[in-house]
Structure 1
Amino acid sequence: MNISALSRTARAYTPVSELHAHAEQLQAQPLSDLLNSDSASAQKRASSLAFTFGTLHVDFSKQRVTPHTLKLLIDWARSCGVEPKRAALFAGEKVNTSEGRAALHMAARWPKGKMPPRGMETAALFCQQQRARLADMVSRVHEGQWFGATGQSITDVVHIGVGGSDLGPKLISEALADRPSHAKVGVHYVSTMDGAQLLPLMEHLNPATTLLVLASKSFTTADTQFNVRTALAWLSDALEVDIPTVCRYQLVGVSSKPEKMTEFGVPHVHQLVFKDWIGGRFSIWSPIGVSVAMQLGMKAFDELLAGAHAMDKHFLDAPLEENLPALMALVGAWNCQFLNIPTHAVLPYDGRLKSLSAYLQQLEMESNGKSVGLDGRSVAHATCPIIWGDVGPNAQHAFYQLLHQGVHTVSADFVAVASRDVDAPEEVSEALAAQEQLTLANCLAQSQLFALGDDAIPPALRGHMAQGYRGNHPNSLLLLKELSAWSIGALLALYEHKVFVQSVLWNLNPFDQPGVELGKQLATSLYELLAGEAAAHKNVKDPSTEQLLSKINEWRQ
């Protein structure tokens, strides 16, 4: 064989080509074959695909993978340089190449007194200093020593943000402050630019005891600016003081731009800062989480960071064969790129996690929803799947019919909580325990039915109920021992690192989001047009938009 033929052969047998060939073979085999309970090899396979980390257990056994699949996937990860790029991430190298900066959100949860990796030292120290400022603010609120413009103590916080400055804090608040007895103060989240979330708060909160938290990395986002100006106008009018006075007493700013906070009127003592090497969708661990800390207390906030930090250490130190974020990433990429499954459902079986799918939509799709690689070339395959979902028990009565008997194939993450402590009378506790067991039973049943389809019908029921359950929806089950601050911190960090590993596999920059910018610019000029500043109209004209503008102006008049 000549040299050119050898070269062609070498190119043919890449990790990616091997995975494509393996996918063709495995797709011909139903998932029910892999899960055959009568097979010793199936039992061994299931055991090898289950992993426990602290209070988090992940089961991949209903995925269309075998130990050989994982070996091929790990070979692919190594060929892409996942391990050295992981080290570069933690060392503070400029992995965000388009913006020329590091991505060091892990520094925001690095514990004081523990040596960070070389290259992260300065970042970790800065984050610890800001965490101390945050703790002081939280203490003032909890001790009744934060007074509004009229001298009354703060009782409620209105957190104004959007995207990463809203989704993360709101998710943690819903997950951990499910009962009023858990909350130190009331916290309310405002993100929609139409004012619909703000108006009800203005009707029932006491303006004299309400603190505004303006959370915005750039401190220029139109959504947050309009909301905070409306909120300040409400406080000023209700308290009969001017807006600068309201800002001095009842406004906290969280941003990477302290000069813009000062210009806006946020006193220096009420400013919390994070650096531009923490992206918005990775920022819950930074001072963006101040409202969570005010609601739940510093002990819970520190436990949240501790869970995330434990996952950081696991991701940094564990070999790929046992590394949960790497395995999650590889299985997800396998489903999307090699099995050609375009959508991924996130199905939490706990109402406290109702915002998890929305949080992961931003984390995954804004990070890896790209078609141009780091080398400037178009990516020739699917990258991030479309992420969607809902609370599982509700979803069963909405879209599961389509999934079970329609024609679409999806992959899924089921998320469940094994136990829940409730301080309630005995009869109430027993009733709640039964509900918990019913929820878990439904989670396990639906995960099984997604995978097995008609093969999940017990023999005694065959012929007595409708068939046509497609099955073959690969899914993972993520089980939390309990929904604690530590466990949800570890869970979210697991997904963060999953996103990073997939970006390496697909040669993407997961830390920028250029795709969101043009829409904002178009909206700005259209806003000016609607406001009567016709000269500011810089949009490309199209007849559809023109007739809609005409109808809006007709009805607004």
Structure 2
Amino acid sequence: MNVSTFSKPARVYTPLNALQSHAEQLQAKSLADLLGGECQVAKRRAEALRFDLGSLHLDFSKQRVSEQTLSLLMDWARSCRLEERREALFAGRHVNVFENRPALHMAARWPEGEPAPQGMEEAVAFCQAQRQKLAGMVERLHARQWFGATGQSITDVVHIGVGGSDLGPKLVSETLGQCPSQQHVGVHYVSSMDGAQLLPLIERLNPETTLLVLASKSFTTADTQFNVKTALTWLSEALEIDVPTLCGHQLIGVSTRADKMTEFGIPEAHQLEFKEWIGGRFSIWSPIGVSVAMQLGMETFDQLLEGAHAIDQHFLAAPLHENVPVLMAVIGAWNSQFLNIATHAVLPYDARMASVPAYLQQLEMESNGKSVGLDQKLVPHATCPIIWGDVGPNAQHAFYQLLHQGSHTVSADFIAVASREHGIEGPLADTLNAQEHLTLANCLAQSQLFALGDDAIPAVSRGQMAQGYRGNQPNSVILMQRLDAWNIGALLALYEHKVFVQSVLWNVNPFDQPGVELGKKLATSLYQQLEGEPVDTPTVFDPSTGALLEKIQAWRQ
């Protein structure tokens, strides 16, 4: 009797299998090993992982990647036809397959006089025409030729939106509008559906000189509709002028639905339009940014678009292994999918960028927070991590303790500004410079401690201070030479293209948000119950929600 010995079949090579095996091997190597102190190999590795894009500098050397890791990640990207999918994006093909439309937010920042990619020409022409109309509105406002219903010049703008119609403009306004001397008009943002942001403005703004901007892609979002109706009611009661007259003087509409803006009573001259192929979270470059242009001027708004367009050109032309958005994306996917890091912290070391984490939460999680692929099958692995964060110096006194000595592994982006032009001289300038140096020192120190843990403690100090710093927390450092419109535009565009690349790797559609819609429908029926109205659609009963409704109704009576 012959006994045959059967060997285990060899594992079929695929980029994903190779990355999984490589991840298992790399687990035994720490970031301290990869950074390697003063050795030449570590220096060459660090140099190869640093990139300059204009006045942006990106350092990926504290990521848990080796030369082999990056090679395997590029094989994965190519196997997903990334270059072909990138060309399709810029050619205006219907990459948003579930909604059967292209995704051409890049067209909104395409400069005049520069040929657009084939397939994007019509979109670019439309966006440039709307930008000219926007510029005319801004010029009229800054010339004090925009008059309210009583004949007074407008001094303040209330931007009413939610989600992408709020987060992008608000971020740029907060980042670049810190100095009142740089503002042409006051701009105020209202997004919360409970009216809490609107009420303080009603108390302190002059209704005669306040212009409302209603920014809503669909022109049906309940949060925005309720806020604008409340704002118009305030103006009407305060000025004793009917709402239709006010809509003709003190309301701008920004939407994809010109018909609905007209139906609402907004004259065509006060309408700005963008198309369905610009998603809300990608819309800051479109007329959704009108309030930024009104506050800071067209020159600043144009610089914002120029920075973003520079990244578009880099993303289109640079080879994958030198392409910064591609590197951001594949490293992020490596951390999430292969190193099993479920959360990613965004830590700006400049209080002017306080809204960056919230902006990126929507951009990344609403785009790639999905478990159903383009093939309508469940994705069998992790996709987008949970994005969160805060201004770094504040975060150090809040949650860094857990990050350094807790049990959770976190990846992070540290974002810092190298210099700040504050136009001040003398002793005050010296103290401000010292504060900037302290902020930068903390950013670099925390990034180092995230990566090295106890190995960041000098040998002479060990035994004299607490240890237990876990280290091995992969992080990138993004440095801006200065915080200006070009750099903010470039930064946001980097993250946009990162999101697209990761969607290709994970085979999900980053341009729809079906998970948002069901909650809105449920809210509509519950709202009707609270109002005592007949319910249009049947609702699923559960005893918890039923009891909460009863409690609310009892208290409100």
Partner of 1:400: 400
Aligned residue type for 1:486: W
Would you say 1:437 and 2:437 are equivalent positions? Answer: yes
- Tell me if structure 2 keeps the 8 A contact 1:526–1:537: no
Superposed counterparts of 1:34-113, under 5 Å: 34-113=34-113
**Distance (Å, rounded) in 2 between the aligned partners of 1:36 and 1:503:** 33
Secondary structure at the counterpart of residue 17 of structure 1:
helix
Higher mean displacement: 458-467 or 138-147: 458-467
Write the distance in 2 (CA, Å) between the matches of 1:38 and 1:501. 34
Read off the aligned partner of 1:510 and give its amino acid letter: P
Match of 1:318 in 2: 318
Paired with 1:182 and 1:398, the residues of 2 have a C-alpha distance of 33
CA-CA distance at 1:423 after TM superposition: 1.2
Residue 307 of structure 1 corresponds to which residue in structure 2?
Answer: 307
Q: Which residue of 1 aligns with 2:217?
A: 217
SS of the counterpart of 1:352?
helix
Please state how far the C-alpha of 1:538 moved relative to its aligned partner.
Answer: 2.3
The 5 Å alignment of 1:244-283 reads 244-283=244-283
| Residue 119 of structure 2 is aligned to residue 119 of structure 1 | yes
CA separation in 1, counterparts of 2:402 and 2:312? 38
Matched ranges for 1:410-489 at <5 A = 410-489=410-489
| Residues 154 and 211 in structure 1, CA contact (< 8 A), matched pair in contact too | yes
> Aligned runs of 1:165-180 on 2, under 5 Å?
165-180=165-180
CA deviation profile, 1:504-552 (whole Å, cap 9, x unmatched): 0000110000000000000000000000115446220000001101110
How far apart, CA to CA, are the structure 1 residues paired with 2:320 and 2:547? 56
Distance in 2 of aligned mates of 1:148 and 1:29 = 66
- How far residue 425 of structure 1 moved from its aligned partner, in angstroms, is 3.6
Cross-structure match for 1:16: 16
- State the match for 1:498 in structure 2: 498
- For the pair 1:524 / 2:519, whether they are aligned, the reply is no
Question: Can you list the C-alpha shifts for 1:272-329, whole angstroms capped at 9, x where unaligned?
Answer: 0000000000000000000000000000000000000000000001000110000000
Q: 1:158 maps to which residue?
A: 158
Corresponding residue for residue 378 of structure 1: 378
Partner of 2:329: 329
Describe the SS at the equivalent of 1:62: coil
Letter in 1 for 2:460: A
Deviations 1:155-188 (A, max 9, x none): 0000000000000000000110011111110000
Which runs of structure 1 show a deviation greater than 6 angstroms over 4 or more consecutive aligned residues? none
Match of 1:343? 343
CA-CA distance at 1:449 after TM superposition: 0.3
Q: Tell me, in whole angstroms, the C-alpha distance in 1 between the residues paired with 2:536 and 2:326.
A: 48
Moved more, 28-37 or 497-506: 28-37
Q: Give the secondary-structure state (helix, strand or coil) at the position aligned to 1:285.
A: coil
Q: Aligned partners of 2:25, 2:381: CA distance in 1, in Å?
A: 20
Contact 1:528 1:537 in 2 (8 A): no
Q: Does the 8 A contact of 1:529 with 1:536 survive in 2?
A: no
Aligned residues: 550
Give the match's secondary structure for 1:433: helix
- With the length of structure 2 as denominator, give the TM-score of the two structures: 0.98
User: 2-side partners of 1:307 and 1:79: how far apart?
Assistant: 30
Secondary structure, aligned partner of 2:454: helix
In the alignment, structure 1 segments of 5+ residues that lack a partner are: none
SS of the residue corresponding to residue 388 of structure 2 reads: strand
Mapped contact 2:525–2:535 kept (Cα < 8 A): no
Matched with 2:3 is none
Please give the alpha-carbon distance, in whole angstroms, between the structure 2 residues aligned to 1:143 and 1:542.
58
For the 8 Å contact 1:529–1:537, the answer to whether it is kept is no
Which segment is superposed worse, 415-424 or 31-40?
31-40
State the identity %: 72
Output the CA distance in 1 between the equivalents of 2:485 and 2:290. 15
1:157 match: secondary structure: strand
Mapped to 1, the partners of 2:170 and 2:53 lie a distance apart of 25
Match of 1:129 in 2: 129
Moved more, 417-426 or 244-253: 417-426
Distance 1:371 1:37 in 2: 41
Which whole-Å CA distance do the structure 2 matches of 1:196 and 1:540 have between them? 30
Which one-letter code corresponds to 1:269 in the other structure? A
* In 2: Cα distance, 1:546 partner to 1:217 partner: 33
CA RMSD for the aligned pairs?
Answer: 1.0
Displacement of 1:38 after TM fit?
2.8
**1:143 maps onto 2:143 in alignment:** yes
SS at match of 1:321: helix
Any idea what SS the aligned residue of 2:196 has? coil
Show CA shifts across 1:55-91 (max 9, x none): 1111000000011111110111001000000000000
* 1:460, distance to aligned residue in structure 2 (A): 2.2
Instruction: Deviation per CA, 1:477-513: give whole Å up to 9, x if none.
Output: 0001111100010000000000000000000110000
Tell me the SS of whatever aligns to 1:12. Answer: coil
